[in-house]
Structure 1
Amino acid sequence: MTQDHHVAPPPSPPDRFGAAHAYARHRPGVPREVAGFLAAALAPVPRPVLLDLGTGTGQVPLAMLESMSPAHVSVVDTSGERTRAALGALLPELGASRVTGFTGRAEDFGPVAPDRRPHLITCCRAFHWMDRPAVLAMADRVAAPRAVFVVMGDGSLWTHGADWTRALRGLIQSYLGPVRRAGTTGVYAEPSRSFDEDLAASAFGRVSVHEFPVTRVWTPEGVLGHLATTSYAGPALFGDRHAAFEEDARRLLGTHAALGPLTEESVFTVRLARRPGDLA
């Protein structure tokens, strides 16, 4: 196996999501059923090339490796720390496969060799942060024939509607204001058009949507660790009040946990997109 790491100019945009070690530990992974579904979609390709955009710490390719043996994996993130963490996590699991890391904007990615044109391009819980038309245009340029572009995700604790998540959101708002933050650089704004509209306007206009129910049970400490990796409740947003926030959040979560499990019932949605001229 081999490892390469490339950094693209211009410099990466400001990071919103916290340290890579916390990200790897506290971000929920990709459900096994989803990884198996994506592997089945690539069944005609014996040794596919995978490209994961906004990889974080490599959770998508790590999940995929349980279901398939790719020829090559490329991971892309705007954070060099997370890109290196993804490479470090993937290397022991790759066997004879190869891996390349790219630090920079997703739309600036390009394969470093002709045999690394991806058959599967994934973007998990990150597409809304990107210049989506530019990313889709890049994907069309670099992807192999009959490639699959996948947008997937499952919302967040901020948007979840359980009693404990609503109470937690209210606590965050009591510290940071009513508007959802997007790191230290601004507030979050919903995309101007839906992912389905983005895909329909791209080369990958043939879309099928698949839903996978997911149940997670959190611990108070797990929730606090997860919040530290988010754009809406990372430590830098609270400044010198972060310790006080964590104390209040731990107390709130402990109260709710005493009444029953901190359960998150969610749906992991997979948008599987192909070029209209490609055969399934």
Structure 2
Amino acid sequence: MTDAGEFKDHFSGHAAAYARARPVYPAELYHFLSVCCAEHALAWDCATGNGQAAGMLAAEFQRVVASDASATQIAAASGADNIEFRVASAEASGLAGASVDLITVAQALHWFDIERFFAEAERVLKPTGVLAVWCYGMCMIEPACDRIVHGLYDRLSPWWPPERRIVERGYSDIQMPFDAIDCPRFAMTVEWSAGDMLDYVATWSASQHCLRETGDDPVQAIAGPLRTAWGSARRAVHWPLYLKAARRPQ
């Protein structure tokens, strides 16, 4: 994220594919965050993308504001009646001060101007309100498939944005601005076919950048070998989640 209203947009060009192909965060994660909150009037899902997290928060909170700096992402998002989708930057939400019980940022904090976003979080959170950010890194399947998928990830290194390194470190170098909350470990697990995995890696920002710059689709290069290694069965795919949460002091 740079100036408010100007942001590093790596996903708008394939927003619909992103919405279809990305794994789903576990319901237990949202329940844990809900329990951390003293009140449940308003949650803000910042950088909502396809609205996945906002949809789950809608079951826990009376109202959810789901914002994204990309109008294309917001246009592709949908959700429950108590979700308000809006185009807004992370650093200038347009929300009222001291109005929010929970802020969530799923797989997006590394794109922000983090200091300015934390200042905005402090402004809009209620006293004792909670800020939660999380990311996920490389998936794990089984060794033969992992070698192919991880090999693609490595070959795409010239096209990964530098912010990706923050994700690779599991947000370990992110210093939260409030009082840390002790968080359990969460993971995502899906049952996918080889085609599902190919759709997923095609949504990687580096895959899209490589395709635009070279005209060659890097995913096609692994399609045959991956389908052979994968076989016809659906396989379990696992991603560890790296969650950080903090409570604003009263």
User: What's the TM-score, normalizing by structure 1?
Assistant: 0.75
Match of 2:246 in 1: 273
Match of 1:198 in 2: 174
Q: Report the secondary structure of 2:32's partner residue.
A: helix
Q: Report the secondary structure of 1:128's partner residue.
A: helix
Q: Report the secondary structure of 2:127's partner residue.
A: coil
CA deviation digits over 1:39-76, x for unaligned, max 9?
A: 2223x42x42111112111111111223x242x32222
Q: Report the secondary structure of 1:233's partner residue.
A: helix
1:30 to 11, 25, 29: 25
Match of 1:181 in 2: 159
1:170 has 2:151 as partner: yes
Say whether the 8 Å CA contact 2:187–2:240 is kept in structure 1. Answer: yes
1:80 has 2:36 as partner: no
Aligned positions of 1:115-126 closer than 5 A:
117-126=99-108
Say whether the 8 Å CA contact 1:12–1:103 is kept in structure 2. Answer: no
Say whether the 8 Å CA contact 2:46–2:66 is kept in structure 1. Answer: yes
Q: Report the secondary structure of 2:49's partner residue.
A: coil
Q: Report the secondary structure of 2:183's partner residue.
A: strand
Aligned positions of 1:60-139 closer than 5 A:
60-66=53-59, 68-70=60-62, 72-86=63-77, 89-90=78-79, 93-94=80-81, 97=82, 99-104=84-89, 106-111=90-95, 113=96, 117-139=99-121
Query: What is the alpha-carbon distance in structure 2 between the residues aligned to residue 153 and residue 160 of structure 1?
Result: 18
1:252 has 2:246 as partner: no
Residues 194 and 24 from structure 1, CA distance in 2 versus in 1: closer, same or farther, beyond 3 angstroms? Answer: closer
1:224 has 2:198 as partner: yes
CA deviation digits over 1:158-205, x for unaligned, max 9?
A: x8884413322324555x4xx2523xxx555524997465334x2x13
Match of 1:3 in 2: none
Match of 1:150 in 2: 132
Percent identity over the alignment is 25
Q: Report the secondary structure of 2:104's partner residue.
A: strand
Residues 213 and 20 from structure 1, CA distance in 2 versus in 1: closer, same or farther, beyond 3 angstroms? Answer: closer
Query: What is the alpha-carbon distance in structure 2 between the residues aligned to residue 262 and residue 239 of structure 1?
Result: 32
1:51 has 2:26 as partner: no
Say whether the 8 Å CA contact 2:171–2:242 is kept in structure 1. Answer: no
Residue identity matched to 2:134: M
Extract structure 1 runs of 4+ deviating beyond 6 A: none
1:211 has 2:185 as partner: yes
Query: What is the alpha-carbon distance in structure 2 between the residues aligned to residue 61 and residue 172 of structure 1?
Result: 29
Residue identity matched to 2:6: S
Say whether the 8 Å CA contact 1:153–1:268 is kept in structure 2. Answer: yes
Q: CA RMSD in A?
A: 2.9
Rg (Cα) greater in structure: 1
2:215 to 240, 263, 276: 240
Structure 2 unaligned blocks of 5 or more: none
Query: What is the alpha-carbon distance in structure 1 between the residues aligned to residue 107 and residue 83 of structure 2?
Result: 25
User: What's the TM-score, normalizing by structure 2?
Assistant: 0.83
Query: What is the alpha-carbon distance in structure 1 between the residues aligned to residue 114 and residue 179 of structure 2?
Result: 14
Residues 79 and 165 from structure 1, CA distance in 2 versus in 1: closer, same or farther, beyond 3 angstroms? Answer: farther
How many residue pairs get aligned? The number is: 245
Residues 84 and 260 from structure 1, CA distance in 2 versus in 1: closer, same or farther, beyond 3 angstroms? Answer: closer
Query: What is the alpha-carbon distance in structure 1 between the residues aligned to residue 164 and residue 153 of structure 2?
Result: 18
Give, in angstroms, the shift of residue 31 of structure 1.
0.8
